[in-house]
Amino acid sequence: MSEALALARTCDFYVCHHGTVQHKIGWFTCVPGVVHANTRVAQSKPALSVAAQTEGGQPPSYLPAELIEDEASNAHGALADALRHENYTIVSVDEACRFVLSEVKATTALKT
């Protein structure tokens, strides 16, 4: 984890799954990024609450829910519901890449 955080500080942009590593990047750096997650997480629009966990936190962009397709889950119950760990597939890698590149371009434009 410490190596991931040290490397994250040297980056201009990141792409990461929603969860532990992404939260640490968001909490300990000001690096912009795109996060991918299942549709339930993406539709909950957590970017502002993720950024609010640290002073001066920058909200990450989330891959749009229309680019994600959840896989059927056999996990049920309160714990499974709270963890929201459902598997998913990115339905159009080309569209997802275009989205990420547009976010990279937008953040690069802010620096110049």
Query: From residue 23, how far is each of 17, 31, 58, 66 by CA, in Å?
Result: 10, 12, 11, 23
The pLDDT score that the predictor gives to residue 104 is: 94
The pLDDT score that the predictor gives to residue 42 is: 87
Q: What is the pLDDT along the chain (112 residues), one digit of tens a residue?
A: 788 778 888 888 889 888 777 777 877 888 888 999 988 888 888 888 888 877 777 888 999 999 999 887 666 667 656 555 678 889 999 999 999 999 999 987 766 5
Closest CA to 65 of 84, 92, 83: 92
**Angle at Cα 13 formed by Cα 8 and Cα 15, nearest 5°?**
85
Cα dihedral 31, 90, 40, 47, rounded to 10, equals 10
Residues paired with residue 53 on neighbouring β-strands, in sequence order: none
